[in-house]
Amino acid sequence: MLFRKRYDEKEVECPGCKKVVKPIIIKNKLESAGLFGYGRAGSGLPRRKFLLKCPNCGFIISSK
């Protein structure tokens, strides 16, 4: 398959739906602009390339 979903190997509890899930790894499209809050210009924080998203409710759990 050309466009298959990639899942993280750890199971975490989603704060949105309160279920234990394996999150979907998605590319951070806002990473270059720094609009997600991580890696903003002048902040000294490293930029995050991937986000972990809940497959059930779509809640952004964390970044990688």
User: Which residue carries 């759990």 as its tokens?
Assistant: 61
pLDDT tens-digit map of 12-50: 999 999 999 999 998 877 655 555 555 455 555 556 678
**Domain range for 22:** 1-64
Assess contact for 15 and 57: CB atoms under 8 A: no
Provide the domain count of the chain.
1
Cα-Cα-Cα-Cα torsion 40, 29, 49, 55, nearest 10 degrees, comes to: 120
CB 9 within 8 A of CB 22: yes
**Quick one: pLDDT at residue 24?**
93
What was the pLDDT predicted at 3?
Answer: 74
The type of residue at 8 is D
Model confidence at 2: pLDDT above 90? no
pLDDT computed for residue 41 by the predictor: 57
This prediction's pTM: 0.67
